Structure 1
Amino acid sequence: MKSVEPAHAAPHSREQAPPVTSVEPARPARSVRKNRDWLHGLLMSAPSVVGLIAFVGIPFGYAVVLSFYNVRLGSPLEPTWFGIEHYRRLFTDPDLSGPFLRALLNNLTFAVVVVPAQTGLALGLAILLNRKLKAIGVFRSLFFMPVVFPMALVAVIWRLILARSDQGMLNSALDAVTFGNWGAFDWLGDSASAMISIIILSIWQGVGFQMVILLAGLQSIPSELYEAAELDRASRWQQFRHVTLPGIRGTLVFVALLTSVFAFRVFDQIYVLVQGGGLNEDAARTVMYQAVTTAFDQNNIGQASAITVVFFLIVLVLTLIQRRVVRPDNED
């Protein structure tokens, strides 16, 4: 026998049913807001993107094209198709492969030394200057001052410091300290000290820039974290290891990548000191210096373009590897 529900059950169940609301109208609003944010971001980044394309993308694309042609600077002859001959000669011709590989080794040596040394020194200076002291702004300005000097001017100053003669500032200081027993050492011309001199010069000139970036990262760490660490009786080293380093990890990664890019494109100080400072060319030759001298001293634009393209690919691979190794924890 079938059970019959009371007549008032249906109206009661209809009254208890929750109202059905539609969320469809909210989607267009979110979509419009997302599109508006995307448009604003595109407009704000447009000047940088246009400049990047105009001054980096197009010239590099033109360099790729020129690397397949035999192009001589100032020659009345039309460029002729050369295929991959420039690339083949770059790795098989002893007259080209020798200087190129030596320049690449110098670049790698420079980067391996400068990146950790300059980053570590910048971090140490940032920690020292991250204090509330009188006239702290003066000290920060003094450390940052070399950054605003043009590299050509910095190279001239260091040429006076590292001059071979007795009038060189470094030789004069060492001669005074040793009571006249120090000879006139050729810091720039000696193959053993030429690259070391360039490394010291470059670190002195560029460390202030990384210091400012790291100082901003240190100042963004909440002071409550240090207060909590002090309550836990953490030492200075423990605070640095467990509070400071995690707080500026992303900044350190950025500084290391930026310093790597600067290290691989080193050119100005090499060129100035080779041309007028007596710098040992073979000991301090870099790939950028090799490309520029090939283009404008040997008038071989096609070969210089091939050197630039190969070097770009090498730096790109090394940068991607470094980016993968030192990726911040908050990234996927």
Structure 2
Amino acid sequence: MSAPALGGLIAFVGVPFVYAVVLSFYNVRLGSPLPPRFFGLEQYRRIFTDPDMSGPFLRSLLNNLTFAAVVVPVQTGLALALAILLNRKLKAIGLFRSLFFLPVVFPMALVAVIWRLILARGGDGLLNSALNVVSFGNWGAFDWLGDSLTAMASIIVLSVWQGVGFQMVILLAGLQQIPGELYEAAQLDRASAWQQFRHVTLPGIRGTLVFVAMLTSVLSFRVFDQIYILVKGGGLDEDSTRTVMYQAVTTAFDQNNIGQASAITVVFFLVVVALTLIQRRVARTGNED
């Protein structure tokens, strides 16, 4: 029964990754008439020692870590709040659940275009237009995407808005698995709403919360689409929002350096695996406590 899934995983994940590892040991350039030349570990040495390559790579890795450090707790917490809010027996509750989940259905390319219209600089942006009206014309020309201080924050808001509905659905399913008798017993013991949340809700969905946090972490490290689209067509500040995936793609297709891009992806894969294992270890220790 698992053969089709395993076959697809090997064909579309395993084989490309092994091929990327092989390419990282060669000097391969798109469009070059010269055959690939074996480089050994030179591509990896350049990533960490060559200032022209190590600087952008380390900056993109720092941007990735900053993005994940903000998005994972904020998106998980907001998803939990929405799940609790929508875990009620109210009229038209299905409509509200659909509305909160709707952004997940939109492709990231479409979401990026929508937020480009919202965050455009000057009077063309919807946010600036609203601020201009509220402030009576005193503040409404800020460049949200182009300013290095707000560029990453704009990407974070965009990404949380688009992805929080997915985590919300998972947590909502976990909340619905908690027996109602536990809440009834807590109410009989005169437990407050906060005490019920702390001693009934959180223990009941601890495994689901750990899964959601780990899933959000992995997804936050592979952020690429919105940054690429907004850098190329939205005036997004490239240096302050450059991620490792963006660095790898631009190295491969803008600089035509396939070998260097492959080395970047291999190093990034090892970093993500290490962080995931640490997160699992911490989560497992927390569950044992």
2:123–2:129 Cα contact (<8 Å) kept? yes
Aligned equivalent of 1:26: none
Aligned equivalent of 1:211: 168
The yes-or-no answer on 1:53 pairing with 2:10 is yes
2:145 partner letter: L
User: How is 1:1-332 mapped onto 2 (pairs within 5 angstroms)?
Assistant: 44-327=1-284
2:48 partner letter: F
Q: In the TM superposition, what is the alpha-carbon distance from 1:259 to its structure 2 partner?
A: 0.1
**Counterpart Cα distance in 1 of 2:246 and 2:288:** 36
1:253–1:327 Cα contact (<8 Å) kept? no
**Counterpart Cα distance in 2 of 1:285 and 1:200:** 16
Structure 1 residues without counterparts, runs of 5 or longer: 1-43
Deviations 1:176-200 (A, max 9, x none): 0001111411000000000000000
2:26–2:38 Cα contact (<8 Å) kept? yes
**Counterpart Cα distance in 2 of 1:255 and 1:47:** 25
2:213 partner letter: A
Could you list the runs of 4 or more consecutive aligned residues of structure 1 that deviate by over 3 angstroms after TM superposition? 328-332
Q: In the TM superposition, what is the alpha-carbon distance from 1:165 to its structure 2 partner?
A: 2.1
Q: In the TM superposition, what is the alpha-carbon distance from 1:330 to its structure 2 partner?
A: 6.4
Q: In the TM superposition, what is the alpha-carbon distance from 1:289 to its structure 2 partner?
A: 0.1
**Counterpart Cα distance in 2 of 1:57 and 1:160:** 39
Secondary structure, in 3 states, of the residue corresponding to 2:31?
Answer: coil
TM-score normalised by length of structure 1:
0.86
2:151–2:241 Cα contact (<8 Å) kept? yes
Deviations 1:23-52 (A, max 9, x none): xxxxxxxxxxxxxxxxxxxxx221111111
**Counterpart Cα distance in 2 of 1:327 and 1:270:** 34
1:253–1:328 Cα contact (<8 Å) kept? no
Secondary structure, in 3 states, of the residue corresponding to 1:166?
Answer: helix
Q: In the TM superposition, what is the alpha-carbon distance from 1:262 to its structure 2 partner?
A: 0.3
Secondary structure, in 3 states, of the residue corresponding to 2:124?
Answer: coil
Secondary structure, in 3 states, of the residue corresponding to 2:123?
Answer: coil
Secondary structure, in 3 states, of the residue corresponding to 2:112?
Answer: helix
2:129–2:140 Cα contact (<8 Å) kept? no
**Counterpart Cα distance in 2 of 1:286 and 1:331:** 35
Secondary structure, in 3 states, of the residue corresponding to 2:191?
Answer: coil
Which protein shows a greater Rg?
1
Aligned equivalent of 1:14: none
CA RMSD in angstroms comes to 1.2
1:210 partner letter: Q
Secondary structure, in 3 states, of the residue corresponding to 2:32?
Answer: coil
1:302 partner letter: G
**Counterpart Cα distance in 2 of 1:158 and 1:146:** 12
Structure 2 residues without counterparts, runs of 5 or longer: none
2:98 partner letter: S
2:130–2:140 Cα contact (<8 Å) kept? no
Q: In the TM superposition, what is the alpha-carbon distance from 1:133 to its structure 2 partner?
A: 0.2
Q: In the TM superposition, what is the alpha-carbon distance from 1:329 to its structure 2 partner?
A: 6.5
Deviations 1:50-83 (A, max 9, x none): 1111001000000000000000011111101001
Alpha-carbon distance change, 330 to 99 in structure 1, aligned in 2, over 3 angstroms: closer
Q: In the TM superposition, what is the alpha-carbon distance from 1:327 to its structure 2 partner?
A: 2.0
Alpha-carbon distance change, 330 to 278 in structure 1, aligned in 2, over 3 angstroms: closer
Q: Which stretch shows the higher mean deviation, 206-215 or 72-81?
A: 72-81
The count of corresponding residues between Structure 1 and Structure 2 is 289
